[in-house]
Structures are given as C-alpha cells and as structure tokens.
Chains A and B, each alone.
Chain A
C-alpha cells in the first residue's frame, strides 16, 4: 500500500499537467481514507515534492494538498503544524527562497495558493489558530491583496498607482487644453457647418426634409401676400410647387420683402422674370426630374389642405387615383458655371472639415474619454462629431461632379498674374543652393539627364530626338508642378540663361567635331558621371603656373646673442615639398562588387550550399563551377572531390555506420566500438540518458543559454586557475624587478 502511495504521488506530481489525473487522484484518496497513517505518509511525501526545485512539481503537489486539505482533519493539522514552511515553499514568503522555475507556473502556483488559503481561512480559520495567523501574516505583513488576483508586491502596486496618477494628470491637463481649443473652434465649426448646409440646400433640396421647407414656406407666402396682390398668385403657385426654389430665393435675397415694399409693379414683374429664370436653374444642375416633381407634389400635398385646389392646380382629373413615383436617392450634381461659386465654397468647407475639424474633434473626444471627463464638453464634442460626419456623408451622397480644377499655382512660371501669386513671397536664394545642377549629378537630384546643351542653346526646334516624345511630355508636366524639383529647375534655367553658354562651351570644347551622334554623347556623359569629384586644393589653384617659392624652406638664423649655429643655409630647396604642391595623391580602391555566385556544393541533406564566399567556402573548400545538382563541371575538380570522398570513407568504413553498429550491439551484446563514432552523434547522447520525468518542463534546457554556457567556460576552475597564475606571474615579474626596493618587496 505504501509503495503504491509513493508511486501515485510521484506519478501525479511529475505529470507536468496543469490538472491532476482524476483516476489516480481517486485512488489516492481512497487509500488516504483508509487510515490515518497513510495520511501522514502522504503528507511527508507531498512535503518532499513541495521541496523539489521545480515549479510544476510543486504545483501538482499543491493541488493534491488542496484536495486532501478539505477532506481530512488529520491532514489539515499536519499541514498547519508546518504552515510556515508550506507558505515559504508555495507563496515565496521568504525572499531568500524564491520559487523555482519555470516562471509562469510559479506565478500560477502563487496565485492558486493564495486563493486556496483564503478559502481555507474562511472555512477552517476559526478552528485552526495557525491557519488564521498565517492568513493574517500574508494579509498584513506580505500585503497580499486577496481580492486582487494578481499577486503583486506593494512596491509594484505603488509604482503602478503613481504611474496612473501621473497619466491622469497629464490627461486632465490635455483635456483642459482641448476644452479651451474647442471653445475657440466651436464657432468656426458651427459657421462652416452652416455654410455647408446652406450650400447643399442651394445646390439641391433635401428630399426628405419637408418640415424645414414648410417652416420656411410660411413666411415667404406671407411676405408675398404682403407685397402685392398681383404677384401673390404667382408666388402662391411658386410656393406650392417649388418650395426649394423659394427657399433658394429666400437665401439669396433674405430681406426681399422689406426691399420690395415700395417697389413699383414693373420691378416686381422684373423680379418674377428673374425668378422664372432661376426656375430653370435646377434643370441645369442636373437634378433628377422625377425627384424634383416628387418634391413638388409632396410639398403641395402637405401645404395645401384644399384638395380641390390641389386637383385643379395639378391638372388632375379626379382625386381617385394615386400616383407612385420612384425617388432615386443617388444624386449627381454637376458643376457648371452657375454653381461654381457654391461648389467652390463646398469644396473649401469640405476640406476644412476633413482636414481640420474632424481630426481635432476626434482627438478631443479621445482626450475627454481618456481623462474620464464625462460632462458637457464630451457631449458637445460628440455632437460636433456627429454633425460633421453627417455633413461629410451628405457631401458624399451629393456626388458632386467636379470640373477639372486648374491648379492656379502652375501659372507661376507664366506671365499671367494671378491672385495666387500674391501668396508667394520672394525668398532670398538659399545658401549653398546650386542653381545649376551639373549633368553628372542630376541623377542624384532625381532629375532626368539634361538634354544636350547645344540643343538648348539653339532652341527647342533643333532638338535632336534624344528623349522620346512621351518622356518629354511627362517632363513638361513635371515642370508644371511647382512642388517638383524640375519646375524649379526650369524656372531657374529661364532666369539664368547666362549660365548656359558657359556650360555649353565646357561641353563643346573637348569635342570640336560636334558630332551629333547621340551614342558618343551619352557615352561622354556616362564617363563624366563616373569621374570622381575631388575637392579643390592648392594643386588646382596653381594649375599650370610656375611657383617661384615652391618647395623652398626658409630657415631663420637664430636670434640669440651668443649662441648661434655656425653654418646655416637660409634657404633650402626641397624637391619633395615642391612636388607636393603640384601633385595630389588619390587613392582609388575600386568599387565593391557583391559576390553573385554561390558555393553550391552538395550538403548531406541534399540541399546545395548557399554560402556566398568570394574565393573559398569554409566548409567545402575552393569555389568551383558546379552544375544544377551541385556536381563540379570541370573534370579535374570532379576527380579531386572523388578522392576526398574516398579518403573520408576510409576513415569510417561503410559497415561501421554508428547507428547500425549500435543496433548490432544491442542485439548481440558485444561491444563493437560504436561509441567511438558517436562522439558527435545526433541522437546518441539523448538516447543514452533518458530523463527521469519526461513530462516535466526541462529546466536544464531552459537554463542552457549562451550566457550559462559561457559562464561554464569562463568560470571553470581550470580556467580561473590559469588566469590567476598568469596574473600572479605578471605580478611576480614586477616584484623581481624591484625586489631590492622595500616598498615593492612587501606586496
């Protein structure tokens, strides 16, 4: 029974599983139930397992303890009698005895134990004094927060709190700033929104916004009624059938009624004509006619209670039939010269909203929520956001068909004066700015190579067909774009024509024949691009001149009264120095060429070696040309490689394949010496030493880091001894040298 108990405990604790095997647990419990002696035996077994330096073992052992604790009084007394040690082993109460690795399991163990201890305390704390003492110890001394599932040290908790506080402060500060910003910006946003809304209305009535139309309808009709009797019928009709238009009119002439009070009928007639003209406007806008009539009818149906008038007005036979009209909601508004101004406005507002307001409003909302401010500000910000988004959506739904916008900035280079040009401020030329980029550097600047200078001077008409037509075009387009470097260049080129002849002459001089062949031209250019640029020096300064003082060293005679060198040449000529002034050393190491070939020798696993060494692969020797399958192409290489293989095989005959030998040994029981070959054997080592508990996480594996391996080497006893010896020897030498001096002799 005892033997079985031991086995059970060992199996359960070394399984490495997060859960206990219920079958084995049941068996264990059955044994424990049978007698108290078994319980104390189990207790000792479990304590030994808890003492193991492996968190998984401890965790499993603790799980068994937890199971038994709730069942047996005897077990409880035993555990509690040694509760200090139990806590040390499971909750890390002693900082000098940290929980063993692996870390995650240790954390989990700690958490579970703390939770269990609390449960135990609730259930048995009254009866077992030491249990409650331990619980209070954890709670008060170790500051374990039993509510907080994460086991944190008080220091960590405090740190976190401080961080939180700091963050809160920052957020609050930011929120305050945002609030201020919002206060400043809200008026602007409101204005923009209104503007946009108005623009939309101008462009197109909202088909679903009847009420608004009605509300605005009323005053208009009143007004028109006030105005004059003759016009009233017309305006009445207008009101009935074209609320949107009226609204339009209303917007354009907000105080028309006041103005018109004293206006003569003829003027009013004019106005009506105007109105009629405007009536045509919606058609120009490309508003769907069906939709338009729908708006008309519904508006009329609502505003006009009198069905008779309704019937009469619409020329309908009777009131008996219904009229169904499909309203297509997808609208397109086309831009034309009539609504350009409105659409421009819309574009501006849209841009403003999209680029400025929406992002800032979003950031405000984020800030407010993060700072935990939940009051008026947040509500207003959300309000704004909704409004802005609605406006954006509306804009999208409008499907405004913009005309191609001509970018006015492009005209800067032209002579036409534009409003936009006012925005460009004359900027002094930047220091170090190269107004003319030399040909060979043009690539660096991301520019196309210059067209031949000659062609430039002669004018574009005589331009050789160097660049294709298309590229020329793109180039021109680029030049039109003011943000592109090409455009600036063009501008400069136009402005500084005097630089060009110089360039021209420079390029023309070396080739007097002025061959128009593009080949030689390009080659020349390439060569020039290749030529190194060297800094300006003395040698260039005196290029071609003869210096009288070159290489002469002047020596001044000593100014001393008595002491003077007897003979001295005042002037020494030094050839080397003279040479130095005229020459210059330029080291030209050549250019780095990356290796393009690979070793491509066949590796044992069948793949080809991927190393890219220049001359020699450290594994496969000299790099030789090889075919697809990695075999050498040259016959002599092939022979050499064969030879090498033979030599290798001679070292280790085929029949002594270590694995095969091991099998033979296992079968016959005779040592054939397979161990000789398995020094570097792939599986030999692991096979020989089977781990005791294969299910547990291998701690050695985890501890086997490069650092630990290095440590093993560096702090190994022999190495230390060697180092100490060497250092001692060095000391000794010093001592030998100064041995006769007392202060060195002592230490």
Chain B
C-alpha cells in the first residue's frame, strides 16, 4: 500500500493502478460486518436489488410478496455502526402495489426520479420515486421474469422485457407502448440485458437453453445465437447445436466494459462469452450450483484488477475471478437460498438478498489496527473474551 502511494507520489505509476490495487484488496476482504446492517422490512424473500448508478447511494429491493423498498446506503452519522434505513416502501397496503412477487427492479439509469419494476402479476410499472405513484403500467400476457433498460442509451428509451412468452418485448417509454417484438426463442425468456458498450445490442437468455444477441435496429432476427461448442458439430448432437447451456439459462451479465458476457444455466455451469464474436471462451468455473426456476441476478465487480463475479450459490455467495474462473471464496451468511446480489462500485460493497428475508451488506474489512496492548484491551468487546474459569479443577 505504502509502496503504491509512494510510487503514485513520485509519478511513477498510473493513478489507476493504486485505485485498482486498493479496490481489489477491498473486494477480497469482503465480510459480514456487525457495524453494517440493512433494515429488516421484507416479510418474505428478497428477489431483486438494484443500486442507482448516479450516486450509488440508493438501493431498491423487490420482495416476493410484491413489496418494493428503497434504502439509503450512505452513512452520514459519523459512526462506524450504521443501519441502512428504508426511506420509503411500496407496502402491501399501497394501492398500486404489485399483486405477486416482484422479479426485477431497476433505476432509471440517468436519474433517481424514476424506477421500474416488473412482477409475476404480468405488469411492468414505471414509478415516480418522489410520489411513489406508478407513472405508467405495461400489461403483458405472461408473467414477467426480467426487464432491463439500457444504461448508456441516449438515442432510445427502450425497456426489454422477458416474459413467459418466447417473444422479447421492447417497451418504449417515450410512447408508452410496446413498440417492438423480437422473435426467435422457443420458450420463456428468463433474462434480458442491454450491452453497456453499444446501445442497440441486447442479450436475452431463455429456457430453451439458448442465449441470443440482438441488434434492435434489425427487425429480421438475432445477430448471434451463442453456441457452447463454438460450432464444432462433431461434438454436438443436432439437438444441442446453437445452445449456450444444457439446461435453462437464467442468468446474464455483461462485464463492465461490455466485451464479455457471463451466462448461468441450470446445468450448474457458468460460461463466459466474447460478446462481439459470440465465442465461448471456455473458462471453467467448476460447478456453480443453480436451482432457481426463474431469473437469477448475479453481479460483477467494477474497477478491480482481476474482475470478480459474485454468484449466488445455494445459501452462499461464490466469488470467482472472471477470466481465470478461480473460486476465490464463499460468503456465508444467509440461511436460505440467495436470489440476487448487487455490487456497489464506489465503496466496493456487496448487497445480497435471500429467501430468508434478509438483505446482507458485505463490507470490506478494515485494516487491522496496529497492535497496541492498551488500546486492544479497551476496544475489545467483552463478548470476545474467553470464559474459562480460573481454577484448574473447574476447567
């Protein structure tokens, strides 16, 4: 650390380098911290989380009972101990609350004044954050598994929606209608995500084990269908051709630079694809336990040297390096299946939601204080002390 700082002072290093090193160190030391808590509002499992990209301060969470809660993550109390407060929530008593489980929530990428939520009650709602009233409601024929809005789009305002029908729908916020339908999948669409690199590129994953990349300007069909065998027909039977996984594909995530795409399937595999060529990079992550019947929200770190993927793995969160496929650690803390996790890039914090109704905050561990005898005695929590009785007989 000191070496990095001195090198930075001397101007030997790129400023990015210090930042990267520190980020990586912090991500590697993520742990549950007793000082950081998220207020317990949800009475049932937490399906989805999203942190707004503008400030990285507000977090939305959607519960499986239709409740949406908005948290403030920033700690202004000047104390190490902080409980993320729920600022407001769309509770069960709210007139416009989702009837069934909320599957996806997303902030409007450019402003915190608006957010979107989709649910199993076959609707997609556009909310005004300040009044907590739905500004617009899109109705669909099937349950909505996932929706996404392009984080970088400036020329369009489309929300891609994956529903129970195999057609991917594009809803235009400007006109308030479903403007476009992308046909190509054969079964329900479990995950949709826009590329962070090019505003017209969309990736969709479906239960027919295919992942397709689309250019929404092209109406005729998809750009590429990702193939796990990279077109080597000899290995693949005719049925498995052009499939990304051997089971349902329920997780999609672009790397922050948009060059690669991570997919998750119920065949307990995670695959990394080159998003421009559609090539399987054949990184081996080992078995990634995935029993979810619906979409799975996983996330990747931002600004670290080897980038990390945080993947729900049963009741734990597995941390992998993206490009080498190495399992770094398992974060244990939830008592039931973890459904979603989201990374806060500014402070390298991770938030995860689980079926046990908890949202846990994983915070980088502080550096060990310099071992100072007196200070240690003072600050040591009495609970950490050993309770052996002093006499030898007692034990």
What residues make up the interface of A, taking CB atoms closer than 8 Å to B? 25-30, 32-33, 70-74, 81-82, 84, 87, 93, 123-124, 126-130, 133-134, 136-137, 140-141
Contact = CB atoms under 8 A, between A and B. Distances in A.
B32 A26 contact: no
Contacts of A84: 315, 332, 334-335
Given A25-B395, A30-B395, A70 B387 contact: yes
B101 to A, nearest CB: 17
Given A30-B392, A130-B32, A137 B335 contact: yes
A130 B358 CA distance: 12
Interface stretch (B156-164, B253-261, B378-386): B378-386
Interface of B: 32-34, 40, 315, 332-336, 356-358, 360, 381, 383-389, 392-395
A158 to B, nearest CB: 17
B395 A123 contact: no
A116 to B, nearest CB: 15
B346 to A, nearest CB: 23
Given A126-B34, A128-B34, A140-B357, A81 B332 contact: yes
B335 A26 contact: no
A127 B356 contact: no
A540 B356 CA distance: 87
8 contacts: A28-B395, A71-B386, A71-B389, A82-B332, A84-B315, A127-B384, A128-B34, A137-B335
A73 B335 contact: no
Given A71-B388, A127-B384, A130-B333, A26 B394 contact: yes
Nearest to A26: B395
A309 B388 CA distance: 94
A117 to B, nearest CB: 12
A127 B395 contact: no
Contacts of B392: 30
Contacts, number: 70
B383 A128 contact: yes
A420 B387 CA distance: 92
A27 B395 contact: yes
Of B336, B385, B388, B389, which is in contact with the most chain A CB atoms at under 10 Å from its CB? B388
Nearest to A132: B34
Main secondary structure of the interface of B (DSSP, over half): loop
A70 B332 CA distance: 23
Contacts of A127: 34, 381, 383-384
A540 B254 CA distance: 104
Contacts of B393: 26
Contacts of B384: 73, 127
B333 A133 contact: yes
A73 B357 CA distance: 29
A130 B37 CA distance: 11
A76 to B, nearest CB: 8
Given A26-B394, A87-B335, A133 B358 contact: yes
Nearest to B395: A29
Contacts of A72: 386-388
Contacts of A140: 40, 357
B388 A33 contact: yes
B395 A33 contact: yes
A74 B386 CA distance: 8
Contacts of A29: 388, 394-395
A21 to B, nearest CB: 13
Contacts of B333: 129-130, 133
Contacts of B395: 25-30, 32-33
A93 B334 CA distance: 13
Contacts of B388: 29, 33, 71-72
B383 A124 contact: yes
B335 A93 contact: yes
Contacts of A141: 335-336, 356-357
B385 A73 contact: yes
Nearest to B315: A84
Contacts of B385: 73
B387 A126 contact: no
A73 B386 CA distance: 5
A130 B229 CA distance: 43
Contacts of A73: 384-386
B357 A129 contact: no
Contacts of B357: 140-141
Shortest beta-carbon contacts, A-B, top 8: A29-B395, A127-B383, A137-B335, A129-B34, A71-B387, A124-B383, A127-B381, A30-B395
Given A26-B395, A73-B384, 6 more contacts: A32-B395, A72-B386, A93-B335, A126-B34, A133-B335, A141-B336
A28 B387 CA distance: 15
A126 B384 CA distance: 10
Contacts of A129: 32-34, 333
A606 B70 CA distance: 86
Contacts of A26: 393-395
B31 to A, nearest CB: 9
Contacts of B40: 136, 140
B366 to A, nearest CB: 14
A124 B333 CA distance: 17
Nearest to B360: A133
A279 B33 CA distance: 103
Contacts of A93: 335
Contacts of B315: 84
A130 B381 CA distance: 16
Contacts of A137: 335-336, 356, 358
A335 to B, nearest CB: 79
A501 B34 CA distance: 110
Contacts of B383: 123-124, 126-128
A277 B369 CA distance: 117
B206 to A, nearest CB: 30
A30 B394 CA distance: 8
Contacts of A134: 335
Nearest to A84: B335
Contacts of B386: 71-74
B307 to A, nearest CB: 27
A526 B123 CA distance: 94
A515 B392 CA distance: 111
Contacts of A82: 332
Contacts of B389: 71
Contacts of B358: 133, 136-137
Contacts of A124: 383
Nearest to B314: A84
Nearest to B385: A73
B249 to A, nearest CB: 26
A81 B332 CA distance: 8
Contacts of B336: 137, 141
A73 B388 CA distance: 10
